[in-house]
């Protein structure tokens, strides 16, 4: 009989009726080994006894028990620390919610008071006729929205301090008061793990958004990050601090000039002339507030800049309060007048929607803070040898490069090139790419010195009734549907040493399959950074590409269809296999911006019948219908604008040839996008709006489901699932909703998948269209392939086989574990083998 106390690892050990206590030296030796190896093997424990004479009087079994108790205490400490952290977060969130509740009560009281005054005014008003009543209402509405003409404000140092204090008061009244009528942003659910409490304005001048939340950073660090707007606000081109004035209370007044990119080629960029005031309140809170300096005199000013529309920032900013136990409670207010009159009417919803402002600016600030806080708190494993800050820098460079291509500012060296008689595609040329890239392009890993210019072909198009996130996801997963192999090869040659050749040359190779290699992602996966490997096929001379594979650095964002007003982007740039941090990036890609602020009622997985709609290559079985069998159709009036921009490096004497190639390429992409958008449109996918009855009414689908079910019952003598009702429709529904991943593959030398149920598509992280591009060999690891090869004869002879559990890989490269798998032959009505079906039981992402 042996027992041991857990107290501090020094408890008495009872061995044969005698108590033995660990000495401090023994505990020190054991602790040292524990930090080296928390779970040593029996051999290692015996080796420890031999190496440490001080432990010679302790039995190996006793040492084993000590390590068990030590691991138990370590686990308890970690759990206690985690619970304390959660408790602090919940306490702070409770405080935040109580403050928000108080603010809402004040807002309700204010609205009730205004409503009472309005009722009394209405009752006391004598109206002569309906016409005069209408005139009265209209005139009163006009008076309410008239902007009072104020005399010019003094912009001397004393006048700027007065403006700063006024800005502070107005900002606080918005952040914690009732100066703006705030309504909760659609789709936002506050909680301890949410991004925060997000609200948008209702009925105020301009557009405004407000957010409050918790971040695990100190207030000064929070203010430092938020002030560096170009590091997290992708639409921000530059923020120049032109003057800094200290104040008597220890704060600072800064005069800023800020430029924002235009989101599309159809609009003009914005700029701001701002005052920023940083101060500390009496309760220790840190406040950073900003406003535009308009109608001032006796001070500095910024004249209007060509190619920019001067917009106005109304009192906005950040209120950062220290949180008990560490971290900060932050309130963010963004309030702008983006001058929507200056853009085409179709784009005005982008400039008049507070939801768009919240998604692009307010929530982006909170996401950046949460991302950095997570990186600080967790020792993350570097991806591809790069730390999180380096990966963020790559994402920022890609996004900035694409914005520069879309806007084509003359101060970066861009000049307009004449068109070919049609203005659908705009061609810009930059003969000074060093200024644009900010790099020396002659270094070994960059563009060769002969490529002295960059050409950009860009265009915008209006899309009707297609969800942006769904379209973008298709473009990401099916590059072969719109990209040209020869153009890809030309782009690849630009990042190799040696001269570029135009597409069409016999020296260029082509690319086969596409492999997506995850590189990094943000906390909520709203942004993905990845490397795309385009696998080379055919003969490809080494002196042109120097490798048979092409690599793209790709940034994907806005693929969540549940995010209201979210812009969807797919930006990529060819990179050399060396993947140097300072390599220049020629960004190209797509940006899709929803123009309707309403939430689209679309299925995030509506790509099921694209195989037939697009006539995707391959002879596998296709199933027509909506992948979300219980979902409804989308709105028939959803609109979005898509901007396309592609950049090419070229030798100066090839300008005309490259321009013609780029113009033709962008036009072909537009044609492909229109074809895909038409196929993705709810009117195409579900013209009758009959839900399950119409989307799963394809006879081929019911036949395949019936074959799968009957073959399983015939071989294994049990039912695959219990059907809710009778008929083939019930069988198909039961198969589709089965909790285990069920996939079918062709009976060929290289089996490819032809069908999967919902769980199968989720496990493989793909759609039924992309499923046909995935082979069985690609998803299985070496152990799985060997096991399948060993069991394959049994499957063909006996009709089924049970496979051991293991690891497979999704189409996104993520490992997936499964407890076991079952494979069986699927027989058609003539008892001939149609395909092989696999069921992966109890699968989960590792």
Using alpha carbons, list the distances in angstroms from residue 124 to 142, 144, 405: 21, 20, 61
Other beta carbons within 10 angstroms of residue 281's beta carbon come to 13
Question: H helices then E strands: how many in the chain?
Answer: 24, 31
Q: Which residue has tokens 């149920």?
A: 757
The confidence band for 263, taking pLDDT boundaries of 50, 70 and 90, is very high
Most confident of 281-285, 542-546, 625-629: 281-285
pLDDT for residue 726? 58
pLDDT for residue 379? 58
H-assigned helices in 52-199: 60-124, 130-145, 157-175
Most confident of 133-142, 635-644, 824-833: 824-833
pLDDT for residue 194? 66
The confidence band for 547, taking pLDDT boundaries of 50, 70 and 90, is very low
In sequence order, the β-bridge partners of residue 745 are: 753, 836
pLDDT at position 265 over 50: yes
Residue 547 near residue 536 (C-beta atoms within 8 A) = yes
pLDDT for residue 138? 35
Alpha-carbon span 761 to 628, nearest angstrom: 12
Q: Which of 498-502, 541-545, 789-793 is the least confident region?
A: 541-545
Share of the chain above pLDDT 70, in %: 76
Q: Which one is predicted more confidently, 405 or 41?
A: 405
Q: Which one is predicted more confidently, 38 or 635?
A: 38
pLDDT tens, position by position, 784-835 = 888 888 888 888 888 888 888 888 888 777 788 888 889 999 998 888 888 9
Residue 164 near residue 333 (C-beta atoms within 8 A) = no
Residue 472 near residue 560 (C-beta atoms within 8 A) = no
Cβ-proximal residues to 330 (8 Å cutoff; 6+ apart), any chain: 212, 213, 214, 215, 222, 318, 319, 320, 321, 366, 369
Share of the chain above pLDDT 90, in %: 25
Average pLDDT over residues 562-571: 77
pLDDT for residue 2? 39
The SS3 of residue 726 is coil
Average pLDDT over residues 311-324: 92
Average pLDDT over residues 642-660: 90
* 66: phi then psi, degrees, rounded to nearest 5: -60, -45
pLDDT at position 104 over 80: no
pLDDT for residue 163? 93
Using alpha carbons, list the distances in angstroms from residue 541 to 489, 537, 544, 547, 571: 11, 12, 6, 8, 28
Alpha-carbon span 479 to 474, nearest angstrom: 8
Q: Which one is predicted more confidently, 285 or 109?
A: 285
Alpha-carbon span 546 to 574, nearest angstrom: 14
Residue 256 near residue 239 (C-beta atoms within 8 A) = yes
pLDDT for residue 584? 79
Nearest to 278 by CA among 242, 317, 315: 317
pLDDT tens, position by position, 39-80 = 888 887 777 778 787 777 777 788 888 888 888 888 888 888
In sequence order, the β-bridge partners of residue 292 are: 274
Nearest to 75 by CA among 5, 12, 6, 24: 6
pLDDT at position 395 over 80: yes
pLDDT for residue 7? 40
pLDDT for residue 188? 64
The SS3 of residue 222 is helix
Q: Which of 3-7, 171-175, 489-493 is the least confident region?
A: 3-7
Residue 419 near residue 451 (C-beta atoms within 8 A) = no
Nearest to 366 by CA among 493, 513, 217: 217
pLDDT at position 636 over 60: no
Instruction: Determine the straight-line distance between the first and last CA of the chain, rounded to whole angstroms.
Output: 41
Q: How many CA atoms lie within 13 A of 268 on its CB side?
A: 16
pLDDT for residue 445? 41
Alpha-carbon span 144 to 344, nearest angstrom: 26
Q: Which one is predicted more confidently, 651 or 385?
A: 651
pLDDT at position 683 over 60: no
pLDDT for residue 113? 72
Cβ-proximal residues to 284 (8 Å cutoff; 6+ apart), any chain: 321, 322
pLDDT at position 321 over 50: yes
pLDDT for residue 692? 37
- The 3-class secondary structure across 239-308, one letter per residue, is EEEEEEEECCCCCEEEEEEEEECCCCCCCCEEEEEEEEEEEECCCCCEEEEEEECCCEECCCCCCCCCCE
User: DSSP letters along 17-30, please?
Assistant: TEEEEPPHHHHHHH
| Eight-state DSSP code of residue 146 | P
The confidence band for 19, taking pLDDT boundaries of 50, 70 and 90, is low
Nearest to 826 by CA among 838, 810, 812, 811: 838
The confidence band for 208, taking pLDDT boundaries of 50, 70 and 90, is very high
Helix, strand, coil shares of the chain, percent, nearest 5, are 40, 25, 35
Dihedral in degrees, nearest 10, Cα atoms 795, 768, 774, 540? 150
Q: Which of 47-61, 542-556, 602-616 is the least confident region?
A: 602-616
pLDDT at position 442 over 50: no
Average pLDDT over residues 237-247: 93
Alpha-carbon span 318 to 227, nearest angstrom: 10
According to DSSP, the β-strands at 328-337 and 312-313 are antiparallel
Retrieve residue 621's tokens.
Answer: 């079985």
pLDDT tens, position by position, 739-789 = 899 999 888 777 888 888 888 888 888 777 777 778 888 888 888 888 888
Q: What is the mean pLDDT of the chain?
A: 77
According to DSSP, the β-strands at 312-313 and 308-310 are unpaired
Q: Which of 68-72, 137-141, 583-587 is the least confident region?
A: 137-141
Whole-structure pTM over 0.75, yes or no?
no
Nearest to 263 by CA among 334, 338, 204: 338
pLDDT at position 624 over 50: no
Give the start-end residues of each E strand in 618-720: 639-650
Q: Which residue has tokens 């079994």?
A: 61
User: DSSP letters along 423-460, please?
Assistant: -SSEEEEES-HHHHHTS-TTSTTS--TT--EEEEEEEE
pLDDT at position 168 over 80: yes
Q: Which one is predicted more confidently, 578 or 602?
A: 578
pLDDT for residue 761? 86
| Eight-state DSSP code of residue 382 | P
pLDDT for residue 408? 92
């Amino acid at each position: 009989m042996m027992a041991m106390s857990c107290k501090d690892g020094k408890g008495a050990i009872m061995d044969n009726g005698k108590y033995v206590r660990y000495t401090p030296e023994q505990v020190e030796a054991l602790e040292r080994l524990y930090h080296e190896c928390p779970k040593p093997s029996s051999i290692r424990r015996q080796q420890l006894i031999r190496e440490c004479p001080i432990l010679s009087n302790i039995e190996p079994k006793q040492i084993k028990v000590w390590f068990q108790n030590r691991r138990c205490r370590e686990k308890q400490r970690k759990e206690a620390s985690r619970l304390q952290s959660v408790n602090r977060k919940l306490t702070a969130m409770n405080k935040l919610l109580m403050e928000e509740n108080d603010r809402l009560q004040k807002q309700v009281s204010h609205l009730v008071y205004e409503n009472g005054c309005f009722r009394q005014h209405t009752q006391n008003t004598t109206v002569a006729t309906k016409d005069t009543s209408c005139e009265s209402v209209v005139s009163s509405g006009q008076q309410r929205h008239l902007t009072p003409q104020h005399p010019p404000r003094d912009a001397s140092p004393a006048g700027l301090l007065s403006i700063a204090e006024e800005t502070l008061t107005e900002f606080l009244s918005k952040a914690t008061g009732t100066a703006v009528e705030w309504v909760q942003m659609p789709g936002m659910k506050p909680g301890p793990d949410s991004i925060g409490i997000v609200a948008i304005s209702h009925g105020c001048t301009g557009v405004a958004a407000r957010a409050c939340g918790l971040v695990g950073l100190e207030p000064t660090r929070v203010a430092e990050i938020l002030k560096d707007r170009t590091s997290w606000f992708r639409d921000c081109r530059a923020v120049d601090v032109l003057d800094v004035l200290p104040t008597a209370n220890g704060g600072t007044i800064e005069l800023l000039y800020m430029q924002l990119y235009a989101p599309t080629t159809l609009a003009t960029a914005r700029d701001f002339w701002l005052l920023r005031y940083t101060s500390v309140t009496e309760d220790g809170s840190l406040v950073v507030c900003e406003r535009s300096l308009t109608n001032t005199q006796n001070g500095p000013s910024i004249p209007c800049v060509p190619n920019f529309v001067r917009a106005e920032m109304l009192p906005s900013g950040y209120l950062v309060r220290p949180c008990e136990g560490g971290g900060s409670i932050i309130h963010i207010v963004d309030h702008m007048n983006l001058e929507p009159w200056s853009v085409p009417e179709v784009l005005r919803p982008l400039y008049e929607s507070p939801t768009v402002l919240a998604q692009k600016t307010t929530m982006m600030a909170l996401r950046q803070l949460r991302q950095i806080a997570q990186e600080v708190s967790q020792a993350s494993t570097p991806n591809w040898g790069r730390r999180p800050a380096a990966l963020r820098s790559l994402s920022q460079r890609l996004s900035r490069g694409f914005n520069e291509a879309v806007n084509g500012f003359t101060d970066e060296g861009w000049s307009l090139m004449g068109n070919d008689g049609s203005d659908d595609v705009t061609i810009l040329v930059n003969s000074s790419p060093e200024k644009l890239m900010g790099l020396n392009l002659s270094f070994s890993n960059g563009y060769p010195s002969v490529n002295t210019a960059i050409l950009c072909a860009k265009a915008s198009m209006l899309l009707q009734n297609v969800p942006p996130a769904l379209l973008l996801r298709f473009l990401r997963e099916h590059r072969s549907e719109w990209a040209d192999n020869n153009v890809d090869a030309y782009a690849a040659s630009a990042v190799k040493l040696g001269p570029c050749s135009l597409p069409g040359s016999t020296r260029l190779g082509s690319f086969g399959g596409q492999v997506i290699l995850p590189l990094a992602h943000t906390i909520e996966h709203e942004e993905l950074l990845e490397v795309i490997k385009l696998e080379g096929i055919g003969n490809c001379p080494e002196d042109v590409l120097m490798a048979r594979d092409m690599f793209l650095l790709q940034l994907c964002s806005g693929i969540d269809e549940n995010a209201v007003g979210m812009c969807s982007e797919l930006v990529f740039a060819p990179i050399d296999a060396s993947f140097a941090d300072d390599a220049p990036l020629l960004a190209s890609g797509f940006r899709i911006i929803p123009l309707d602020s309403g939430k689209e009622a679309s299925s995030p997985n509506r790509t099921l019948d694209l195989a037939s709609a697009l006539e995707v290559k391959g002879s596998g079985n296709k199933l027509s219908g909506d992948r979300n069998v219980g979902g409804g159709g989308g709105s028939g009036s959803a609109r979005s604008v898509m901007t396309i921009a592609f950049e090419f490096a070229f030798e100066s004497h090839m300008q005309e040839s490259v321009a013609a190639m780029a113009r033709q390429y962008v036009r072909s992409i537009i044609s492909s996008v229109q074809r895909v958008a038409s196929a993705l449109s709810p009117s195409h996918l579900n013209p009758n709006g009959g839900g399950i009855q119409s989307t799963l009414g394809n006879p081929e689908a019911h036949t395949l489901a019936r074959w799968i079910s009957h073959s399983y019952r015939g071989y294994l003598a049990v039912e695959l699932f219990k059907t809710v009702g009778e008929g083939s429709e019930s069988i198909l529904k039961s198969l589709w909703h089965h909790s285990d991943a069920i996939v079918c593959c062709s009976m060929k030398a290289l089996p490819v998948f032809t069908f999967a149920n919902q769980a199968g598509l989720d496990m493989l992280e793909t759609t039924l269209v992309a499923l046909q591009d995935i082979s069985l060999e690609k998803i299985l690891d070496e152990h799985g392939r060997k096991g399948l090869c060993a069991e394959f004869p049994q499957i063909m002879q006996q009709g089924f086989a049970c496979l051991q559990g293991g690891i497979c890989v999704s189409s996104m490269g993520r490992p997936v574990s499964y407890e076991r798998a079952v494979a069986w032959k699927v027989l058609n009505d003539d008892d001939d083998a149609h395909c092989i079906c696999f069921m992966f039981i109890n699968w989960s992402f590792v």
